A and B are shown apart, each in its own frame.
Chain A
Amino acid sequence: MTVREDKAAEEGESAWAGEIAPGRAMLRGAAAVPSTPAVVLFCTFIGFGALAHETGFTLGQALFTTATIFALPGQVVLADQLARGAAISTAAFAVMLTAVRLMPMTVALMPEMRGTRARRALEFVACHFIAVTSWIEARRRLPFVPRDLRLPYYIGFGSALCTATLVGTVTGFALAREVPVVIAAALLFLTPVYFILSLVATMQTREDQLAVLLGSALGPLLFLFMPGFDLLATGLIGGTMAYAVGRMARGEGAGGRMPWRRR
């Protein structure tokens, strides 16, 4: 994000004076959704809607997938695996591997949302909205929200963002049928470009870098040798190799972290 937008976020959230009801905090969270990351996310869900259409989902199934999973990598893996005729167990395992990352993200975010009172039930509601974009945005915005209002604020923000992705899904599904083939191809192209950019944007360690490189190279190759099991194998082989090399580098005192990385 640009510096200017950061300032805008700060000024926008700084007006929290006086008593504010949780309901108002929720509305403010929802009102915070229109932003560059949300527009990008909306466009990528147009891509998912188009992909779901191309892989034989009905509109209802595509919407159900977006609403229940709300994590684009898992959704795309699910659509892809089912379209290619993988066994349900293989598809489920591949989706699970993409979803494991949600746990450390939730672990990192939840303490920031805890107020003075324990509200476990609300925390389990809020955590459904944790996915890459909402997580990045929450880390940026929550510090400006009073502690006790963060949970309702995030629930408002998350449900509005989820609504935007549902609208995106419908839009993409409808467009895939109507638009010229040049545009339909571009819609399907949104997903891989968005994914690779969010991967390189969040690369922090040598493990991350190696995992991106090895995964990119192994994905298409393993698809030729073991279709159906290729994504799992790519993740397990590429990820483990990246982890092993990164660990060796850390062991040698190289630090593993990349000090020249900004942020």
Chain B
Amino acid sequence: MATALMLAAGAALSAGAQSGQGAGRAAAELFGSGWTAYGLILLAGFAVTEPWRWAGVIFSKNLSLDSEILIWVRAVSTALVAGLVTRMVIFAPGALEGVPLWLRVLAFAAGIAAYYLGRRILAVGIGGGVLVLIAGQLWL
């Protein structure tokens, strides 16, 4: 529960620094619909993802899960995804940008609170957050 409150506080703090920037539409220009787009996805997506799975198969006989490097890697990727999460809430993409910032932050905090109050069931947390977001928009 304390973690939930701290998270909500963190999101609220960062929210103080909001600017009006939204998701760009650069992808449409960058991508087009040609085969180069698929090449880019392979290059910046598949080629940097799948080898880690292969490495896992290869190393699965002799790698300690507690090694320091893996603890660091886990921390870095956790922080990266956590940063992406709060940024997606504060500098929201597309249609979500039209929802007021306070409502996005409130619904986000509500999702975390619902998860902890609802016996840590994932569906309860997600449902709670989404319901608050929809109800808030309808009420406005």
Contact = CB atoms under 8 A, between A and B. Distances in A.
Contacts of A234: 79-80, 82-84
Centre residue among B25, B31, B60, B68 by max chain A CB count within 10 A: B60
Given A64-B41, A95-B48, A56 B25 contact: yes
A220 B90 contact: yes
Centre residue among A39, A81, A102, A212 by max chain B CB count within 10 A: A212
Given A84-B23, A108-B60, A182-B138, 20 more contacts: A54-B23, A55-B94, A60-B38, A68-B42, A71-B49, A79-B27, A98-B77, A103-B52, A110-B56, A185-B98, A188-B93, A189-B129, A192-B86, A195-B85, A200-B115, A214-B82, A219-B84, A220-B18, A231-B80, A231-B84
A207 B38 contact: no
B49 to A, nearest CB: 4
Contact of B27 (A57, A200, A218): A57
A193 B130 contact: yes
B46 interface: yes
Contact of A127 (B41, B53, B86, B138): B53
Interface of B: 3-4, 6-7, 10-11, 13-15, 17-19, 21, 23-31, 33, 37-38, 40-50, 52-57, 59-61, 63, 65, 68, 70-96, 98-99, 104, 107-108, 111-112, 115, 120-123, 125-126, 129-130, 133-134, 137-138
B82 to A, nearest CB: 3
A161 B134 CA distance: 28
Contact of B7 (A64, A77, A196, A222): A196
Centre residue among B63, B81, B94 by max chain A CB count within 10 A: B81
Given A200-B3, A231-B83, A188 B74 contact: no
Contacts of A51: 93-94
Contact of A219 (B4, B76, B83, B126): B83
Interface residues of A, number: 119
Contacts of A84: 23-24, 26
Contact of A215 (B29, B81, B98): B81
Mostly, the A contact residues are: helix
B33 A58 contact: yes
A130 B54 CA distance: 11
A111 B56 CA distance: 10
Interface of A: 2, 36-37, 39-40, 43, 50-51, 53-58, 60-61, 64-65, 68-69, 71, 73-85, 88, 91-111, 120, 123-124, 127-128, 130, 176, 181-201, 203, 205, 207-224, 227, 230-232, 234-240, 242-243, 246-247
A219 B48 contact: no
Contacts of B42: 68
Contacts of B79: 211-212, 214-215, 218, 234-235, 237-239, 242
A219 B14 contact: yes
B19 A224 contact: yes
Contact of A107 (B6, B7, B44, B65): B65
Given A102-B52, A219-B87, A220-B14, A240 B75 contact: yes
Contacts of B47: 92
A156 B18 CA distance: 46
A189 B1 CA distance: 22
A130 B60 CA distance: 14
27 contacts: A50-B95, A58-B33, A65-B45, A69-B41, A82-B40, A88-B43, A92-B43, A92-B48, A95-B45, A95-B49, A96-B49, A102-B49, A108-B65, A123-B57, A128-B53, A176-B95, A184-B95, A188-B96, A193-B129, A197-B125, A197-B126, A212-B7, A216-B82, A220-B91, A234-B83, A235-B79, A240-B72
